[in-house]
């Protein structure tokens, strides 16, 4: 503890961004080479960290605290959800409903956020866009709220778009291992997985099930062996036949329903806990809580 009760403000010497505000003296020679400034991306180990001080009369705890417990946990950075649903390595989570896109976007940015700043620390995020409707630029607003380098973030989001159910199966079963080897990642997202099946009148349920089965088995295998978090989204309600077949393969579940124009009801379920109902405002999904 600083005996003079001074708050030490550590600033990035490249962009003058505030790294941390604390009462403790930090030895920056001991930090790892991978830690970087969340605003400009400069490696903190390769630069001189400048400090400034402010007098305080009482010392109780650091002014800034890490938002997440460990780097093995992936968060939405929405306390109402994170306090109920812990997403950890090897988890398989499905997100259902018309707000699934926004929740997935939050997970993308949280995945790419450095571990030193409370993120998941994934080098890249892989997205299989089965609905052909993902727009990575929707992530820009969230990245900007964290003060991240936008160009750097966009380069690290890897998107593959299948246009038929057979291309989806090929991507998920055969191509994904190659992509994972090329792009180091902790997070794999399959966006709107049922879109191609439900929008092709030629595809019958029996055929769809035969194609979905190896896709889901592949997802299960990757989460267990490669130590990834797998996120699968359904942008609309799932027909009962598909839900009985699909949902048993996930150990965590979120379903969102719009109550009115700015209020959202959310059911959150973990295999280890009972289902809980949460109520959020639209702005809670779109804005990053500061402090």
57 pLDDT more than 70:
no
Question: Per residue in 143-171, pLDDT tens?
Answer: 999 889 999 999 999 999 999 999 999 99
24: confidence class by pLDDT, cuts 50, 70, 90 = low
Q: Are residues 260 and 132 in the same domain?
A: yes
CATH number at residue 228: 3.40.50.300
Q: Write b or e for each residue in 166-189: b if 16 or more Cβ atoms lie within 10 A of its Cβ, otherwise e.
A: ebbbebbbeebeebbeeeebbbbb
Q: Are residues 42 and 121 in the same domain?
A: no
Q: Are residues 22 and 147 in the same domain?
A: no
Report the pLDDT value the prediction gives residue 222, as an integer from 0 to 100: 81
1: confidence class by pLDDT, cuts 50, 70, 90 = very low
Q: Are residues 134 and 205 in the same domain?
A: yes
Note the pTM of the prediction, 2 decimals.
0.74
32 pLDDT more than 50:
no
Mean pLDDT, residues 83-110: 92
DSSP assignment of 177-214 equals HHHHHHS-EEEEEEESTTHHHHT-TT--HHHHHHHHHH
Task: Phi first, then psi: give them for residue 275, nearest 5 degrees.
Answer: -65, 135
Q: Are residues 139 and 183 in the same domain?
A: yes
Q: Give how many domains the chain has, as a whole number.
A: 2
**Is residue 229 one of the residues assigned to a domain?**
yes
Q: Are residues 259 and 188 in the same domain?
A: yes
Q: Are residues 19 and 140 in the same domain?
A: no
53: confidence class by pLDDT, cuts 50, 70, 90 = low
Q: Are residues 27 and 132 in the same domain?
A: no
Q: Are residues 142 and 186 in the same domain?
A: yes
Range of the domain at 32: 6-55
Q: Are residues 126 and 47 in the same domain?
A: no
């Amino acid at each position: 503890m600083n005996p003079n009760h001074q708050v030490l403000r550590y600033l990035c010497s490249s962009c003058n961004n505030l790294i941390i505000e604390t009462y403790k003296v930090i030895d920056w020679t001991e930090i790892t080479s991978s830690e970087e400034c969340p605003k400009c991306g400069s490696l903190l180990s390769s630069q001189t960290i400048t400090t400034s001080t402010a007098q305080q009369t009482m010392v109780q705890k650091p002014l800034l605290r890490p938002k997440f417990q460990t780097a093995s946990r992936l968060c939405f950075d929405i306390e109402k959800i994170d306090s109920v649903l812990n997403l950890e390595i090897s988890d398989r989570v499905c997100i259902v409903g018309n707000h699934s896109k926004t929740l997935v976007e939050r997970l993308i940015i949280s995945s790419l956020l450095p571990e030193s700043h409370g993120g998941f620390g994934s080098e890249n995020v892989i997205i299989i866009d089965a609905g052909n409707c993902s727009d990575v630029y929707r992530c820009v607003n969230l990245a900007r709220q964290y003060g991240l380098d936008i160009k750097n973030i966009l380069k690290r989001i890897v998107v593959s778009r299948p246009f038929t159910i057979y291309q989806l199966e090929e991507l998920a079963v055969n191509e994904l291992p190659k992509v994972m080897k090329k792009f180091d990642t902790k997070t794999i997202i399959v966006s709107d997985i049922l879109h191609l099946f439900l929008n092709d009148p030629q595809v019958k349920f029996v055929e769809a099930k035969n194609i979905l089965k190896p896709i889901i088995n592949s997802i299960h295998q990757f989460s267990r062996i490669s130590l990834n978090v797998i996120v699968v989204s359904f942008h609309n309600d799932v027909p009962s036949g598909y839900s009985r077949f699909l949902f048993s393969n996930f150990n965590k579940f979120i379903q969102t329903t719009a109550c009115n124009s700015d209020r959202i009801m959310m059911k959150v379920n973990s295999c280890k806990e009972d289902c809980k109902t949460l109520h959020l405002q639209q702005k809670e999904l779109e804005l990053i809580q500061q402090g």
